[in-house]
């Protein structure tokens, strides 16, 4: 994870997220400074994905608080800042590409609130950056695993 957009800083204070059983994370205290890089490593089931989902706003957690750029984003099981306002991106393990959309449409979907021509131009630029400008109209089933991963990164 790289924290850099708009000088983002992230702080977790006593964040916990439990799904029942042994899964989740307990009492996470973590400060991530703007511009820093952080590697999250651990065994399968140790809570790495849960931690990322908490930061991205896809999970509220059960207790604790999360602050982004000095603004309270989550607290005591409530999401206070919408995921799209957090300026945090993540690539899911399964890439989460829409199977009925082309690479260009998958990347452009993330910017669906922009005008279509701006959306398309930005998606083309991003796919070119990841070396897939020749695969704009390919659907996920027509892409290799590595190409699918790059489409997800571009998105």
Which stretches does DSSP call E strand in the chain? Answer: 10-18, 24-32, 63-68, 71-75, 78-79
pTM of the model: 0.66
pLDDT-derived band at 4 (thresholds 50, 70, 90) equals very low
Q: Which CATH class is domain 5-85?
A: alpha beta
* pLDDT score of 72: 96
Mean pLDDT value across the chain = 87
The encoded tokens of residue 124 equal: 């083309």
pLDDT tens digits, one per residue of 91-121: 777 888 999 999 999 999 877 667 788 889 9
């Amino acid at each position: 994870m790289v924290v850099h957009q708009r000088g983002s800083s992230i702080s977790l204070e006593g964040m916990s997220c439990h799904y029942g059983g042994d899964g989740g994370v307990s009492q996470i205290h973590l400060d991530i400074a703007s511009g820093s890089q952080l590697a999250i490593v651990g065994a399968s089931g140790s809570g790495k994905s849960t931690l990322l989902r908490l930061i991205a706003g896809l999970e509220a957690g059960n207790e604790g608080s999360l602050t982004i750029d000095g603004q309270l984003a989550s607290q005591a099981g409530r999401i206070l800042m919408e995921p799209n306002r957090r300026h945090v991106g993540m690539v899911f393990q399964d890439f989460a590409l829409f199977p009925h959309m082309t690479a260009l449409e998958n990347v452009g979907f993330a910017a669906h609130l922009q005008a279509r021509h701006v959306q398309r131009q930005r998606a083309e630029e991003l796919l070119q950056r990841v070396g897939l400008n020749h695969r704009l109209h390919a659907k996920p089933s027509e892409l290799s695993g590595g190409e699918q991963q790059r489409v997800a990164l571009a998105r």
